[in-house]
Structure 1
């Protein structure tokens, strides 16, 4: 029987971007939410800016928390559920960290005991404030916080994988204590899956939290290497969904495509709708998909300075709330899709060793083999090399064929849609 997949959007306010928390205007928020609800989407992901909400380690501003609750209530009035990101953290090329963690007060975000106390208190406060709201889905710890822990960040907060694991456990527990039983999770950008020295690991992503989140951006080398209409570009989101399953202990752990967008100029505006249709169709062919949350709702205003050029055009809606072609495409898919994917019976072997993750990145042998299989219609998933001979694990996932990358030969398709 077909089952439901959630369709939503990452909410970028049309007025003031995320700086709107400084001049919170509920009427403007309501107008934004009306334009989102009109597309037929069912949830949003929202982003309190951490230094605005907790400017001092001992001060979590009550008015800011109240404004967040009012936003969630306004979303409920429009039939929208809400996921709240906590530690913002990093957004659209800007870092937002409170002064009590930087410069003269420089302390490691993942290991300093006082910083951990402050973070846990903050996440607990937000979760508790929303615990009785029926449309509150749960907390995401922060937006791509792994970018703070390693290069290419210019000033990383170094930590070991064990220290990151302890950080994840404590922060997720703070969210659960504040709002028991909700979908609390963590979410990283794709270096978790692709970068050999990243202390946030695939195993953590696929085993900690209520579900696995993946963020799919084809400006990571995929579109540059293969082109905008290639199989790798149009199936990159599906690849991350299926790659995550190799590390999951639960054979049917839900996966949330929490961020995916059409970045110009690699995906030009006139091709964004086609890219969206192809990306969503490939994701809907993945079993155990929880939902798809597009980045983002509204364009960044040209009145704001210093954003990378692509950030000004990623919205489903313009800055004055007019839907683009891409919005109509996503709305149609949300309205008319059927979700009943067949099991993926062919599994490609991937290395369990996190120091070999680059093999899964664009140009790596795992990445390229996956898309040769996809081009041939094989609908692959992935399995760890340590589980490739585990008959019980394979059976639980419906896998009947296991291939190593060197067994996947080049095809006439060349990895490009014919």
Structure 2
């Protein structure tokens, strides 16, 4: 294959899905079967989506610090090629990392070889080599979008993880920049970024910060899960639950230095029982409608493509039914609603208007955000955003440090600044 340049930013948001294989879940890398993968991808392409996000298991691909298995890398390339044959672009996560309540870390970081994954020089060098290898191998493929450092690796850095790898925000910053740089050196110009679960936005003192998410990498990734207290507190049919993903997209913009930095809603799903199964299609449509009203949205990648096979044990109950399709590849109501929303969005390509009203976000310090719980469900920023939305406004967010910066506000199209205490 010849090298292909990265695709230019799409005029309209991208729509995709996180690929969960029907046979063996992510353990399929141990018994990789390309024919099964092709059939899975056919069912995904049938929904009208344009990309998938895929997850090589880190211990399978790099079982020893100095062994990155060539056969595994070849199989990943075969998956990307098969996706391309079906008109699907592919984003690849590297360090898996954490998936659906299970951790996947190689033995050279655990037990007798216990070393901090964010600060140990040998471990960090091994991770960088691995990410570079994957990016370099995939770079010649025109449908390769880019690398995400790993899936929600911030959950390894603190509570509630039972055995965290502690790091300071400064150490996290250095680690993230080295990982993203390794991806960029392997595949220059692609969409390389990192992704955190919402502790980065909502949990005081968490070492992965909003600043990291909004300043490092080619885009900001947000993962929206309403089982974080949103659905429990406000209800499945509330404004807050329907708007949670849009809220995270807009909150992320408060920390960005580029007024038009793209934000990727990289994970969002309808978890039961917080969203009852019979309500999943409505929630899907409401969530998509809300985020499509956010300027500078790169795209939406739903979690996930297919249900988890009930023959696999020990998953949290909600994980089994998150798919848009069943394990025998039948389209579920949420899948049909997403496909319909995609068709509607492509028929109406008008970009959303700027959001001119901004809720002030005061977290104590822009870089480390030690008081970011004000942004979480029940916090004053969250409450103000949702009240304004319920009243028909289209709010965004601005840091307190920029609330009086006329140039910053103008660059983002903000004409009104509202403090949370002023919203009743």
Task: Give me the TM-score of the superposition, normalised by structure 1.
Answer: 0.97
- CA offset digits 1:370-405 (Å, max 9, x no partner): 101110111100000000000000000000000110
Aligned counterpart, 1:363: 378
Question: Is 2:195 the counterpart of 1:183?
Answer: no
Distance 1:378 1:329 in 2: 26
Distance 1:273 1:371 in 2: 22
Distance 2:373 2:422 in 1: 19
Q: 2:360 aligns with which of 318, 334, 349?
A: 349
Distance 2:371 2:280 in 1: 33
Alignment RMSD: 0.8
Deviation (angstroms), 1:3: 3.5
Q: Is the 1:60–1:122 Cα contact (8 Å) retained in structure 2?
A: yes
- CA offset digits 1:188-216 (Å, max 9, x no partner): 00000000121011011001100000000
Distance 1:217 1:161 in 2: 24
Q: 2:217 aligns with which of 206, 209, 212?
A: 209
- CA offset digits 1:82-134 (Å, max 9, x no partner): 00000000000000000000011000010000000100000000000001000
Q: Is the 1:14–1:32 Cα contact (8 Å) retained in structure 2?
A: yes
Aligned counterpart, 2:249: 241
Aligned counterpart, 1:262: 270
Indicate the larger mover: 336-345 or 237-246.
Answer: 336-345
Q: 1:273 aligns with which of 281, 285, 293?
A: 281
Question: Is 2:132 the counterpart of 1:124?
Answer: yes
Deviation (angstroms), 1:364: 0.7
Deviation (angstroms), 1:75: 0.2
- CA offset digits 1:311-337 (Å, max 9, x no partner): 100000000111111111101111121
Question: Is 2:224 the counterpart of 1:231?
Answer: no
Distance 1:240 1:273 in 2: 21
Question: Is 2:390 the counterpart of 1:375?
Answer: yes
Q: Is the 2:205–2:371 Cα contact (8 Å) retained in structure 1?
A: no
Aligned counterpart, 1:324: 332
Aligned counterpart, 2:3: none
Q: 2:405 aligns with which of 374, 379, 390?
A: 390
Aligned counterpart, 2:101: 93
Question: Is 2:160 the counterpart of 1:152?
Answer: yes
Question: Is 2:92 the counterpart of 1:84?
Answer: yes
Aligned counterpart, 1:47: 55
Question: Is 2:17 the counterpart of 1:17?
Answer: no
Distance 1:401 1:326 in 2: 37
Number of positions where the alignment pairs a residue of Structure 1 with one of Structure 2: 408
Distance 1:80 1:61 in 2: 25
5+ residue gaps, structure 1, are 410-418
Aligned counterpart, 2:207: 199
| SS of equivalent to 2:417 | strand
Deviation (angstroms), 1:351: 1.6
Distance 2:399 2:46 in 1: 43
Distance 2:339 2:207 in 1: 37
5+ residue gaps, structure 2, are 1-9
| SS of equivalent to 1:82 | strand
Q: Is the 1:213–1:256 Cα contact (8 Å) retained in structure 2?
A: yes
Aligned counterpart, 1:414: none
Question: Is 2:301 the counterpart of 1:293?
Answer: yes
Q: 2:151 aligns with which of 143, 150, 172?
A: 143
Distance 1:63 1:351 in 2: 50
Distance 1:61 1:186 in 2: 23
Deviation (angstroms), 1:236: 0.1
Deviation (angstroms), 1:271: 0.3
Distance 1:219 1:197 in 2: 21
